[in-house]
Amino acid sequence: MKIKVVNTDGKDTGREIVLSDDIFAIEPNEHSIYLAVKQFLANNRQGTHKSKERCEMSGSTRKLHKQKGTGGSRKGDINSPLFKGGARVFGPRPRDYSFKLNKKVKTLAKVSALSLKAKDNNIIVMEDPKFDAPKTKAFLSLLSNLGVSNDKATLVLGDSSYNAYLSARNIPNANVAMADKINIFDIMNSNKLILAESAIKTLEENLTHN
């Protein structure tokens, strides 16, 4: 498929670039996208949640009153989950939420996500931008020129640019990713994908050979 290339001012350069149909025009596999996003979110969970259970409480273990003859319910010690400040029954324990996903499934998920974005016309191809210094104002101007100021937008670069990262860091709906490190969540969590020309070659090389 062909798509127009714009400059950093958002104006048409008069050039077109051909996007690989194997990456940007396949029939999306939505289940693979679901699995990949699920794995990404699960792997990022700390899993450090913890609440005290009955055997971990420091209160007295004395039985509050005799078992029968009081006219009330039976009670154990003060650490019972029935009482305020007592233990919790089957509370959360620290655990690892991560799980394995085959490399081919994750590649299929990325390709499917990119194809979805292309199908919905949510991909913008732009000349490689230059960030000589970290300036939030310059990044905001870039988003405005491209008409994506009010959208969640991810700028995908071919080469690492710390200045670009710093420029977008304080903008709530903006994100910067490297083509060789972009993950499924970055793609699906964005309304618009802004692809630098150099990033397209990297994406096609990485996703075609895997």
Report angle CA 129, 132, 134 to the nearest 5 degrees. Answer: 100
Question: What are the structural domains of the chain?
Answer: 2-46+100-208 (3.40.1370.10), 51-91 (no CATH)
Measured CA to CA, the distance from residue 113 to residue 96 in angstroms comes to: 27
Which residues have C-beta within 8 Å of that of residue 137, sequence separation ≥ 6?
Answer: none
**pLDDT of 1:** 85
Measured CA to CA, the distance from residue 79 to residue 62 in angstroms comes to: 10
- One pLDDT digit (tens) per residue for the chain, 210 residues: 899 999 999 999 999 999 999 999 999 999 999 999 999 999 999 999 999 998 898 888 899 899 999 998 888 999 999 898 899 999 999 999 999 999 999 999 999 999 999 999 999 999 999 999 999 999 999 999 999 999 999 999 998 899 999 999 999 999 999 999 999 999 999 999 999 999 999 999 999 865
| Contact by Cβ (8 Å): 122, 114 | no
Torsion, Cα 134 144 118 191, to 10 degrees, reads 80
Measured CA to CA, the distance from residue 65 to residue 51 in angstroms comes to: 27
SS (H, E, C) 172-194: CCEEEEECCCCCHHHHHCCCEEE
If you ran DSSP here, which 8-state letter would residue 78 be given? T
Torsion, Cα 2 5 10 13, to 10 degrees, reads -120
